[in-house]
Structure 1
Amino acid sequence: MEQKNFQLHDIVEMKKPHPCGVNRWKVIRIGMDIRIKCEGCQHSVMLPRKDFVKKMKKVLETATEE
């Protein structure tokens, strides 16, 4: 299985879109659980890391270091 590299504030695409129709999510918390926020309706969801890695399709935009 390929290693999925993601970090805080990345924009990721999940395998299934959110019910609002948008499939862009921002990673807003990383730990044992990953919290992601829908870029369309701003709804946030917390997933266990294992589930997040399984459901994530790819990283669309990486966060830039400031």
Structure 2
Amino acid sequence: MALKLRLGDYIHLKKRHPCGEFRWKVTRLGDHVGLECFGCGRLTMFYRAQLESKVKEIRSARATGDIRN
């Protein structure tokens, strides 16, 4: 199943980041998806196909009211 992501969306990954956070903000879209850790601000890139198996939940930026990019 293809992920339907938009810039600014928040995703909840299955595994915890070393800083202890599960939530990430989508900062770049394309073949690679850029993510920013909600806890420590670390930036990382995933292949879209890799990310599909790691995502637990997607929250739209429009639903949360945060549409800053």
TM-score by length of 1: 0.84
Instruction: Provide the secondary structure at the position in 2 that maps to 1:17.
Output: coil
Instruction: Give the aligned residue type for 1:48.
Output: Y
Moved over 6 A (4+): none
Aligned residues: 64
Aligned-residue offset at 1:5: 2.6
What corresponds to 2:33 in structure 1?
34
Structure with greater helix percent: 2
Percent of residue pairs identical: 34
Instruction: Provide the secondary structure at the position in 2 that maps to 1:54.
Output: helix
1:12 aligns with 2:11: yes
How large is the Cα RMSD of the aligned pairs? 1.8
Q: Write out per-residue CA displacement over residues 25-60 of structure 1, whole angstroms, 9 at most, x where no aligned residue.
A: 00000000001000000001101110011111111x
Structure 1, unaligned runs of 5 or more: none
Partners of 1:51 and 1:3 in 2: how far apart?
A: 11
| 8 Å contact from structure 2 (residues 2, 52) kept in 1 | no
